[in-house]
Amino acid sequence: MSNKQKYFYSLLAVAALIAASIYGFINNRPGLGLDLRGGLSVVLTAKESKGVRITQKAMDQAILIMQERVNKLGVSEPTIEQQGSRNIIVQLPGIKDAEQALDVIGQRALLEFRIVQKKYEGQSPEQMNFEISKKKKVLEKTLLTGKVIDSATATFSSGQDQLSSAPIVEFTLTPEGTDKFAKITKENINKRLAIVLDGRIITAPNIKSEIPDGKGVIEGIESIDEARRIALVMQTGNLPFALDISQHQQVGPTLGKDSLNAALMAGIIGVALVAVFMLGYYRIFGVVTWFTLAVFGCILAGLYVLINLILVQLGSAGFSLSLPSIAAIIFVFGSAADSSIIVYERIKEEIKGGRSIRSAMDVGFAHGFRTFVDADLVAFLTAAILFYFGVGPVKGFALVIMLGIVADLTTSFLFTRSIIGLLASYDVIKSTALFGLRREATPE
Amino acid sequence: MKIDFIGRTKIWAAVSGAVIIISVVALVAIGLNFSVEFTGGTSLDIKFKQRPPIKKVRDTLGKFGLQKSIIQPVGSSNMLIRFRQPGLTQKKALAQQEKVQNTIKKSFKVIDINAEQVGPEWGALITNAALLALFLSLAGILIYISLRFEFKMAVSAIAALFHDIAITIGIYALVGREVSPATVAAILTITGYSLYDTIVVFHKIVENSKTIQKDTYANMANRSINQVLMRSINTSLTTTLPVIAVLVFGGETLKDFAFALLIGLITGAYSSIFVAPEILTIWKETEPRYANLKRKYAQGQALGTRL
């Protein structure tokens, strides 16, 4: 394949990438972060107490508790995510009553066992919760708290055949809990015992018989997932750590919008300044840079969407555009122009060294590329480390820096190289003045 | 046009030395102004319909014993209030913050409020993460440059980086600008980009050291710097322009990023020309091969002037 052909194919690849990026971007527009659209963001940190290790299982329980609480708040599109080994980030976009939300999220988890009042015995837990929300007295007073639960596991009942095997939760009680539970079950046979987390009934099984030995089973659960959820909830009374609100941030909708407008304004002016400078200094190459920056922008957007799609596939919430990521976007546009400059200056240098314009352009890219690949890789390395250790918005910043470097290398290799190569092979540029090099300056 | 950079090493060393001493003195004497994320505390960003005088707001805060809050006007209609509530439990601090917010809403014409509250342990957590990230970045850079170029270049680059970080910290102490997680993230990023220009210079030095065999290391390095000078200036300029735009037009959070990035870019550009190659040259000329060349060259010069 001749060089010309290679360049044409590269440009075709660029066109395909741009099309894919634009298509992907339109269909999967990244959401705006809380700092731009308003809302409440809370970081909860598990607090270690003496002799207690914070296990992943305990963190899973904590996240489950948070999900229950957030459901209670009725926010659309909440995200609850673990970050690092000890932090849970709860994001509630567009929430009106931040005070109430903080109260609900910040409370200590409380698991209780309470008997359901006769009047409501025939209802499902959902109906009971609805009655509770109307301030009706559905439950008797608290008989036991979650501390009496030693363990709870979801499993299948060992029926005679496949058909009679149903999901159940088996639980065991602590020695202190065993006697109390025996007494309660004995006195309340055929009543319903509600398991209540933070004031919400999770399930309310019927007491069939006395449980004297501290080993009980909950039956009549619809699915194994539901059984798992109940088992997790039953252990939350034993959550071995306190969850503290270590940071919270409320952003009003108007202030968020102000920030977004200011950021867009700054970005447009910043990129325009770079474009004007490049034209003034590098003339025809400056125009090439305009296209380079446009291609770079498309590929960056495409990569951002792609990463988010992958993250969502992996079950994470993905990244929304926050102020720090916008700062990074503006910054990487400036550094994308750097790569072009290194190539153009290299071409000038080759001409000063006595090469013809055409051969200078041929070798200029190759030499320049080697230089900025090294420079880019070092920058990538630091950004990757920052991404790994950063918390919250800093992660978004580091991610954009990394994507910016990948987009820059892709653009340079596929686009800038081909354009320079084609300009050289068609001998378009006859005078060095066209890219801002005065004749008398050549050769040295 | 050719500038003798390496020959004036002593001047640059004096300049850098003086600036670093000022930075250290500023850091010790004034200290850094850490944001609530590090110190713990509450920060309120309030947008008013019509901004009241600071004194009135301070009087309102006085009702809660918070008259010592830091109050800053921001932009045309905003105000930034920061206070710490030592001795309050998390729950009480939260309740107080909510009361303060409501009182301000009642007393003045408020359009919108952003509130942030940070517990004291959060700061330690993110500080540790940042230090670990910095340490690993330095180690990674050291290994990468050692493998791609050579160990002496890696150490020179890292030395230049410490120079940049010291000056950046000094400027933050002198200016009194808030150090937020955004600042730290920006500075960590700059550790990567501040090497951008240094690597461009080193690339040229490596290339020239292969073709220029007869000249001293100092002359060869100096020629290399001159050859890439325009490149360094222009790349720094294009990276700086958008950052300046953000510093002028962006909102508060963005300005935090931009300020840190700007300082880092300027010191990075400076050290890639005036610090890193100089350290490298001094070190390289202790190698027998280059020490010999240097001696021969000096003799030649001496003879030349005598004749």
Distance, in Å, from the CA atom of B161 to the CA atom of A17, rounded to the nearest integer, reads: 37
CB-nearest to B251 from A253, A262, A388 is A262
| Predicted confidence (pLDDT) at residue A440 exceeds the cutoff of 50 | no
| Predicted confidence (pLDDT) at residue A98 exceeds the cutoff of 90 | no
Mean per-residue pLDDT, B154-181: 91
What's the sign of the alpha-carbon dihedral B101, B103, B105, B107? negative
Q: Which residue of B has its CA nearest to A279?
A: B238
A146-186: pLDDT as tens digits: 778 888 888 888 766 666 678 888 888 888 888 888 888 88
Average pLDDT, chain A: 85
- The reply to whether residue B195 touches residue A375, judged by beta carbons under 8 angstroms, is yes
What whole-number percentage of chain A has pLDDT above 90? 21
First to last CA, chain B: 28
- Of the candidates A42, A40, A85, A78, the residue with the CA atom closest to the CA atom of residue A60: A85
State how far residue A2 is from chain B, nearest Cα, in angstroms. 29
Mean per-residue pLDDT, A103-117: 81
pLDDT at A400: 94
State how far residue B258 is from chain A, nearest Cα, in angstroms. 8
| Predicted confidence (pLDDT) at residue B4 exceeds the cutoff of 70 | yes
| Predicted confidence (pLDDT) at residue A427 exceeds the cutoff of 80 | no
A292-325: pLDDT as tens digits: 999 999 999 999 999 999 988 887 777 888 888 9
Q: Is the distance from CB of A86 to CB of A244 less than 8 angstroms?
A: no
| Predicted confidence (pLDDT) at residue A237 exceeds the cutoff of 70 | no
pLDDT at B307: 44
Model confidence at A96, in pLDDT bands (50, 70, 90)? Answer: confident
| Predicted confidence (pLDDT) at residue B177 exceeds the cutoff of 80 | yes
pLDDT at A89: 87
Model confidence at B231, in pLDDT bands (50, 70, 90)? Answer: confident
What's at A5, amino acid-wise? Q
CB-nearest to B238 from A246, A338, A372 is A338
| Predicted confidence (pLDDT) at residue A344 exceeds the cutoff of 50 | yes
pLDDT at B244: 94
| Predicted confidence (pLDDT) at residue A391 exceeds the cutoff of 80 | no
| Predicted confidence (pLDDT) at residue A20 exceeds the cutoff of 90 | yes
| Predicted confidence (pLDDT) at residue A367 exceeds the cutoff of 70 | yes
| Predicted confidence (pLDDT) at residue B135 exceeds the cutoff of 60 | yes
Model confidence at A363, in pLDDT bands (50, 70, 90)? Answer: confident
Report the relative pairing of strands A193-197 and A200-203 from DSSP bridges.
Answer: antiparallel
Model confidence at B262, in pLDDT bands (50, 70, 90)? Answer: very high
- The reply to whether residue A394 touches residue B246, judged by beta carbons under 8 angstroms, is no
CB-nearest to B119 from A245, A274, A346 is A245
CB-nearest to B200 from A43, A269, A371 is A371
Mean per-residue pLDDT, B147-170: 93
Distance, in Å, from the CA atom of A239 to the CA atom of A64, rounded to the nearest integer, reads: 11
SS (H, E, C) chain A: CCHHHHHHHHHHHHHHHHHHHHHHHHHCCCCECHHHHCEEEEEEEEECCCCCCCCHHHHHHHHHHHHHHHHHHCCCCCEEEEECCCEEEEEEECCCCHHHHHHHHHCCCCEEEEEECHHHCCCCHHHHHHHHHCCCCCEEEEEEEHHHEEEEEEEECCCCCHHHCCEEEEEEECHHHHHHHHHHHHHCCCCEEEEEECCEEEECCECCCCCCCCEEEECCCCCHHHHHHHHHHHHHHHCCCEEEEEEEEEECHHHHHHHHHHHHHHHHHHHHHHHHHHHHHHCHHHHHHHHHHHHHHHHHHHHHHHHHHHHHHCCCCCCCECHHHHHHHHHHHHHHHHHHHHHHHHHHHHHHCCCCHHHHHHHHHHHHHHHHHHHHHHHHHHHHHHHHHCCCHHHHHHHHHHHHHHHHHHHHHHHHHHHHHHHHHCCCCCCHHHHCCCHHHCCC
Q: Which residue of B has its CA nearest to A258?
A: B251
Model confidence at A31, in pLDDT bands (50, 70, 90)? Answer: confident
- B chain contacts of residue A273, beta-carbon cutoff 8 Å: 241-242, 244-245
Q: Which residue of A has its CA nearest to B206?
A: A371
Q: Which residue of A has its CA nearest to B246?
A: A266
Work out how many CB contacts closer than 8 A connect A with B.
243
What whole-number percentage of chain A has pLDDT above 70? 94
- The reply to whether residue A341 touches residue B235, judged by beta carbons under 8 angstroms, is yes
CA within 13 Å, CB half, A138:
27
A265-277: pLDDT as tens digits: 999 999 999 999 9
- Of the candidates A404, A379, A384, A405, the residue with the CA atom closest to the CA atom of residue A394: A384
What's the sign of the alpha-carbon dihedral B80, B83, B88, B89? positive
A211-230: pLDDT as tens digits: 888 888 888 888 888 888 88
- Give the pair of three-digit tokens for residue B284: 């390289």
pLDDT at A441: 46
Model confidence at B23, in pLDDT bands (50, 70, 90)? Answer: very high
Distance, in Å, from the CA atom of A143 to the CA atom of A399, rounded to the nearest integer, reads: 51
Q: How many CB atoms lie within 10 A of CB B38?
A: 23
Average pLDDT, chain B: 87
| Predicted confidence (pLDDT) at residue A332 exceeds the cutoff of 50 | yes
| Predicted confidence (pLDDT) at residue A443 exceeds the cutoff of 50 | no
Choice between A389 and A329, residue whose per-residue pLDDT is larger: A329
pLDDT at A160: 60
Choice between B231 and A253, residue whose per-residue pLDDT is larger: B231
- The reply to whether residue A389 touches residue B130, judged by beta carbons under 8 angstroms, is yes
SS (H, E, C) B239-280: HHHHHHHHHHHCCHHHHHHHHHHHHHHHHHHHHHHHCHHHHH
Choice between A234 and A115, residue whose per-residue pLDDT is larger: A115
| Predicted confidence (pLDDT) at residue B175 exceeds the cutoff of 70 | yes
